[in-house]
Amino acid sequence: MLPVLLTGLLMTVAGASAGASQEAQALQKLQASGTSQATPTASQSTGQTSGEEAGSKEDGPPATTHGWHFVSVTFDYDFSKTPACSTTATTACVEGFVAYDISAGVKHRTKLFDIPLPSKPVGLVHRITGRSPKRLDFESGKHLISVSAREAGGKESRHRACTTWIDIP
């Protein structure tokens, strides 16, 4: 397994209801160090989702809504501990990153999208960014988003090493 190398995660979710041109953003930033679990350091959330509004019925639990959102993640990675794959480094190297929704637990994680290596991946690289290529359907509520480093051969770093909670309205 790859060592814990992801040091921070900034999450942006932009969504719009069907046919609407307004985008909503939810930001959360966290810092992770060593092998300790990350803790949020700042959060902000606003948004608009499609479907019936939650809590519109007075009797019974609120209705669950869904919304389509682009997801962007920004994080730091230290390539001095595990280098990027290249023509000279083909094993024990990072070939890319993967964003997941691990709200249902790591065993039931949902892959959101792949994140390619940045240009010049040497040493500590700040602000590596990945974005979903299409809008993703999210149920309203809290979601735990994770980024993992993927080694050549498919092995991945711990899924809970670099995480942030987001709140989809």
Q: Where are the domains of the chain?
A: 6-50+62-168
Per-residue confidence (pLDDT) for residue 66, from 0 to 100: 78
The pLDDT confidence band at residue 167, using thresholds 50, 70 and 90, is confident
Choice between 72 and 29, residue whose per-residue pLDDT is larger: 72
Choice between 70 and 40, residue whose per-residue pLDDT is larger: 70
Answer yes or no: are the C-beta atoms of 27 and 44 closer than 8 Å: yes
pLDDT of 4 over the 50 cut: no
Q: Please state, rounded to an integer, the average pLDDT across all residues of the chain.
A: 72
Answer yes or no: are the C-beta atoms of 111 and 97 closer than 8 Å: no
Is the pTM for the entire model greater than 0.75?
A: no
Per-residue confidence (pLDDT) for residue 56, from 0 to 100: 46
In Å, how far are 13, 67, 74, 79, 149 from 84, measured between CA atoms?
A: 28, 35, 18, 6, 10
| pLDDT tens for each residue of 79-113 | 999 999 999 999 899 999 999 999 999 999 999 99
Per-residue confidence (pLDDT) for residue 62, from 0 to 100: 62
In Å, how far are 10, 63, 121, 128 from 96, measured between CA atoms?
A: 18, 38, 11, 11
pLDDT of 120 over the 60 cut: yes
